[in-house]
Amino acid sequence: MRLGEAGILSTDVRRGEEAGAGTRIVTPGDVTAAKVRIDTLMKSVTNDVAACSQLSDADRTSWAIFYAGWRAFYCLDPSGSCTEPASTLFGSGGALDACDAWENQLAAWQSKLSATCKLSSPIDVPPVPIAQQQDTVGSWIKWGAIGLGLVLAIKVVGETGLPRLFPAKGHR
């Protein structure tokens, strides 16, 4: 299991910018900031949907369902009625990953709406999903362990020689 799946760490490659070594500790404040940023865009797109006369009733209904789901996630309450975003300490990495998923879906909605409607805010560049990001820390640890193992093997063989390391049967 990756640390991000445990809700502790998350690889953060948003908008093509790498944060440090690519892995960081995620706090509830990080999740709150992401929710506030996304909610501002959600409200803007909600206004765009309301102002767009060319949009079908089915698309309006789909958007309403999508937005209600977002508000439930934003508030951590199925009613979606809150004034501030809610977040918890445990599961912050997973919550930030969920914010990425919501942001990707919002960008898809913006692209769809831009074909027939005027958008009041630019199309958001969605973050790279965690599953598509390289695990740079894990890669460094793996190759470091392999290198250390090779150095130790060469040192042992160099000091003892293979015959002493694996003596013939009966010669001890």
Neighbours of 150 (CB within 10 A): 10
Predicted confidence (pLDDT) per residue in 157-172, tens digit: 777 766 665 666 765 5
Q: Where are the beta strands (DSSP E) in the chain?
A: 9-14, 17-25
Profile the chain (172 residues) by mean pLDDT over runs of 10 residues: 39 41 73 93 93 93 95 89 85 88 92 89 67 64 83 78 64 55
Q: Specify which residues 13 forms β-bridges with.
A: 18
